[in-house]
Amino acid sequence: MHEEKQTQAVETFMIRCDGPPAETLRSIKEGQANSTRINIKYRLRNAARMMLRASRDMLRGYDLENDQRLFRGHLMCEELGELLLAMSEFDEAETLDAIVDLDYVVRGTAIQLQLPFDKAFDLVHAANMKKTSGAFTDRGGKKGKPKGWKPADLQPLLEKRDNLFRAQL
């Protein structure tokens, strides 16, 4: 599934779980009282500070040549922190930029770690779509897993990747 189709797949899942995105956007721009916006801003800024602190702490005294996992984790924390800050300001242009940056780092991490991201996405998406039928909603508004739901089995993808690597040696 290509990136555009992946985006459509995620949108389908989100609509099933959360309702149309336009309704969510409208509620933020038009209907929220100032106290609600301040509360949202405060919570997002606190989360952003935690992510940015974690990003800095991750690399303190670390030699980047040892393992890319820590460096990639640092990049993801940093980008997520920037996204949360942009969202706290209700700045759509900066939010979009941060989302793209985060996606770029996540996909780059999959490439760096030689993980089959696109194929895994398809499997995880199929499993997520099964969550929406017969699912329940918890107090936080998140859709729960219906009885008998199973996560995507990604191990066969990794085994196939490993077999291809061995064949190349």
Task: Indicate the burial class of 25 (C-beta count within 10 angstroms; 0-12, 13-18, 19 or more).
Answer: exposed
Q: Is residue 27 part of a domain?
A: no
92 within a domain of the structure (yes/no): yes
43 part of a folded domain = yes
Q: Is residue 22, in this structure, part of any structural domain at all?
A: no
Residue range 117-165, pLDDT digits in tens:
999 999 999 998 887 666 666 666 666 777 888 999 999 999 999 988 8
**Partner residues linked to 137 by β-bridges:** 143
Specify the pTM.
0.77
Report d(CA 105, CA 78) in Å as an integer.
10
Predicted local confidence at residue 80, as pLDDT: 96
pLDDT category of residue 44 using cuts at 50, 70 and 90: very high
The pLDDT score that the predictor gives to residue 79 is 96
Q: Is residue 12 part of a domain?
A: no
> Confidence class of residue 63 from pLDDT cuts 50, 70 and 90?
confident
